[in-house]
Amino acid sequence: MLKATTHVRPLTPADLPELHALLDRDPLVNLFVRNRVDATRLQARWLGGQVWGYFEDGVLVSACHAGANVVPVQAKPKALELFAEQIMADNIRPSSIVGPRDAVLPMWRLMEPRWGPARSPRLDQPFMVLDRDSRVRPDERVRPVLIDEFDTIYPACVAMFTEEVGVDPEVGNRSGYRARVAQLISQGWSFAIIEDGDVVFKTEVGAATTSACQLQGVYVRPDLRGKGIAVPALAAVVRLVRQTIAPVVTLYVNDHNTAARRAYERVGFRHTETFASILL
């Protein structure tokens, strides 16, 4: 049996039909990359990086988003090896490697001798999905954040990011993070309970396609945690998101965060895949 001829190269707009077909093999797991591809059409000036393709006998078999986040797509073992070599050869220094655990961990093993140790390896992250409205009665106080509420919501966004990622997003690129928060509000992707000028609860849609979206940054004010706010608030977010953005809602969570996992399960999310994130 002849060995397949393989190579890796940056994908261009001419590759979009093949890339779309690849991403659509698992539209929920590949949601982040599909969102980036749809938003940029693989135009380098908007992408802020590249999407590489791994080809066997001229056929696109795997891909990898290589920018601030490295995200493998449908990645075969040989593809992971070549992607890792390309990332190190190009001296790309992302903030994270994220995606299905069975792709991220082998990729990181190849890169760790040069880049390790990781600042925060998160090796077991349940990827959860909800494709209907929650059976939990929604908290009617949840609503989209208005752009003139930016100064109200922004400190909660910074607090959540710092707590979750372990770094202050205002250090190094404060204007970039502020612009991202403003963008999500303007898109109608930011949701909160705001009372008397104070944020009780908030979350955002971080990425979306026509078929699905992904929640991020779920936050409850620290003094109100454990008081049953998150579950009905998330039920409301799911209802609003399914009405206005996409019919399927996804998220992923650290395995050790048992309180969050239980809350998501009560809302109705089910564990369908396992992710890993290597924060660098």
136 and 207 fall within a common domain = yes
Q: Is 93 exposed, middle or buried (0-12, 13-18, 19+ CB in 10 A)?
A: exposed
pLDDT at residue 190 in the model? 98
The number of distinct structural domains making up the chain is 2
Q: Is residue 125 part of a domain?
A: no
Q: Is residue 279 part of a domain?
A: no
pLDDT at residue 238 in the model? 98
Tokens of 141: 């106080």
89 and 165 fall within a common domain = no
Host domain of residue 159: 130-274
Q: Is residue 32 part of a domain?
A: yes
Q: Is residue 124 part of a domain?
A: no
250 and 143 fall within a common domain = yes
Domain edge (last residue) among 87, 117, 147: 117
Question: CATH number for the domain including 184?
Answer: 3.40.630.30
146 and 225 fall within a common domain = yes
Q: Is residue 241 part of a domain?
A: yes
Domain edge (last residue) among 84, 117, 150: 117
Q: Is residue 228 part of a domain?
A: yes
143 and 238 fall within a common domain = yes
d(C-alpha 118, C-alpha 112), whole Å: 8
pLDDT at residue 237 in the model? 98
Q: Is residue 245 part of a domain?
A: yes
**Residue 229 CB coordination number (10 Å):** 18
Q: What is the pLDDT along the chain (280 residues), one digit of tens a residue?
A: 557 799 999 999 999 999 999 999 999 999 999 999 999 999 978 888 899 999 999 999 999 999 989 999 999 999 999 999 999 998 888 899 999 999 999 999 999 998 889 999 999 999 999 999 999 999 999 999 999 999 999 999 999 999 999 899 998 777 899 999 999 999 999 999 999 999 999 999 999 999 999 999 999 999 999 999 999 999 999 999 999 999 999 999 999 999 999 999 999 999 999 999 999 9
d(C-alpha 213, C-alpha 106), whole Å: 27
Question: CATH number for the domain including 72?
Answer: 3.40.630
pLDDT at residue 116 in the model? 87
Domain edge (last residue) among 57, 91, 117: 117
Q: Is residue 1 part of a domain?
A: no
H or E element in which residue 195 lies? strand 190-195
β-strand 59-66 against 270-279: which pairing, if any?
unpaired
Q: What are the C-alpha distances in Å from 265 to residues 30, 131, 208, 258, 261?
A: 22, 13, 21, 10, 6
Q: Where are the alpha helices (DSSP H) in 41-187?
A: 44-47, 77-89, 101-115, 150-165, 174-187
DSSP three-state, residue 75 = coil
Q: Supply the DSSP string of 50-65, one letter for each residue.
A: EEEEEEETTEEEEEEE
pLDDT at residue 2 in the model? 59
pLDDT at residue 92 in the model? 82
Tokens of 163: 């707590």
